[in-house]
């Protein structure tokens, strides 16, 4: 038996490059995730129109700003709705991966498609949140839309532009208020799984084994493709952040089952593609790094 987080989990090999697509619904979600990322990375916002409407307020400038921001908010609505699909998919994946002995599950070839899909979810989440954090236009556009919403409700000619009702607007505001909204979706999903019979302890055991396996596969040169290595490293990053949020003592204590120092060292040492954003994500998006019992070597690695 392989205990979650012990040295054995570093020897688990998951052949990401040879695994089929797994669950069809999750596979469809993952295919659509590429389009979501492309839209986010191309999102420019309506700053020019909004600035003009604020500095020179009149019916003409405000109408131009509204006409510009409506399709923008429609795109943001799509991001939020996609997060609900991510939540549903993650629930399904974690239920399978965390039952029984989570580390042992990762050694079973029948579970490998599910493990790969979980890695792809982490990959998407880390990339989405990285792009979102560097794009203030998202918050600016949605804030302006909310400010103008009540006024536009009174304008009959603009009824067609009200694409988000108050309830949806409140939910979207909460979603985009987080610097890392997709990771927050995973955190909430993991915390809510207790009602479905999957304990936080089981999830943490899975995350430990998965993290240790993924960083070790990169360290040992198991994959030749840069994309597969980056999939593994983003999985390590996302799993460390998720573990730190749901584990009461966090991921950085000396007794953590995740080999955090080794994992961060592998991330920082990867040369085929920049991993600076991954190191920053662990540094700034975890919550226990500043705790007194954080390993000094880990603090030194993260600067």
Q: What does the pLDDT look like over 168-220, one tens digit per residue?
A: 999 999 999 999 999 999 999 999 998 788 999 999 999 999 999 999 999 99
Q: Judge whether 74 and 43 are in contact, CB under 8 Å.
A: no
Which among 224, 217, 215, 292 is positioned nearest to 252, based on CA atoms? 292
Mean pLDDT of the chain: 92
Q: Which two tokens stand for residue 261?
A: 């120092």
Q: Which two tokens stand for residue 166?
A: 């108050």
Give the Cβ contact number of residue 98 at 10 Å. Answer: 24
Would you say the pTM of this structure is higher than 0.85? yes
pLDDT at 177: 93
Give the residue-averaged pLDDT of 105-115.
96
pLDDT at 3: 35
pLDDT at 1: 30
Give the residue-averaged pLDDT of 32-49.
96
pLDDT tens by residue, 45-67: 999 999 999 999 998 999 899 99
Instruction: Evaluate if residue 19 carries a pLDDT over 50.
Output: yes
pLDDT tens by residue, 123-137: 999 999 999 999 999
Instruction: Evaluate if residue 228 carries a pLDDT over 90.
Output: yes
Which among 203, 220, 218, 222 is positioned nearest to 273, based on CA atoms? 218
Instruction: Evaluate if residue 16 carries a pLDDT over 50.
Output: yes
To the nearest 10°, report the CA torsion of 273, 282, 265, 201: -120
Instruction: Evaluate if residue 108 carries a pLDDT over 90.
Output: yes
Instruction: Evaluate if residue 160 carries a pLDDT over 60.
Output: no
pLDDT tens by residue, 69-99: 999 999 999 999 999 999 999 999 999 999 9
């Amino acid at each position: 038996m392989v205990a979650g987080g012990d040295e054995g989990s570093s020897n688990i090999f998951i052949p990401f490059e040879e695994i089929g697509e797994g669950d069809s619904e999750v596979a469809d979600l993952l295919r659509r995730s590429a389009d979501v990322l492309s839209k986010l990375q191309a999102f420019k916002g309506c700053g020019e129109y909004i600035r003009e409407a604020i500095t020179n307020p009149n019916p003409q400038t405000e109408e131009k700003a509204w006409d510009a921001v409506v399709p923008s908010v429609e795109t943001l609505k799509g991001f939020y709705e996609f997060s609900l699909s991510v939540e549903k998919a993650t629930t399904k994946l974690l239920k399978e991966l965390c039952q029984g002995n989570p580390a042992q599950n990762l050694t079973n070839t029948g579970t490998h498609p599910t493990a790969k899909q979980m890695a792809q979810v982490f990959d998407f989440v880390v990339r989405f949140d990285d792009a979102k954090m560097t794009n203030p236009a998202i918050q600016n556009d949605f804030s302006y839309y909310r400010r103008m919403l009540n006024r536009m409700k009174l304008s009959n000619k603009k009824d067609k532009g009200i694409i988000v009702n108050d309830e949806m607007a409140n939910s979207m505001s909460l979603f985009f208020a987080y610097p890392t909204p997709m990771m927050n979706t995973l955190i909430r999903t993991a915390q809510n799984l207790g009602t479905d019979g999957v304990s936080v302890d089981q999830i943490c055991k899975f995350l430990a084994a998965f993290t240790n396996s993924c960083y070790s596969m990169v360290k040992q040169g198991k994959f030749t493709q840069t994309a597969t290595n980056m999939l593994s490293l983003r999985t390590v990053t996302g799993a460390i952040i998720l573990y730190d949020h749901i584990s009461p003592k966090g991921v950085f204590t000396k007794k953590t089952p995740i080999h955090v120092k080794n994992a961060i060292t592998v991330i920082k040492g990867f040369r085929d593609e920049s991993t600076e954003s991954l190191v920053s994500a662990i540094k700034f998006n975890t919550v226990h790094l500043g705790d007194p019992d954080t390993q000094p070597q880990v603090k030194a690695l993260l600067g």
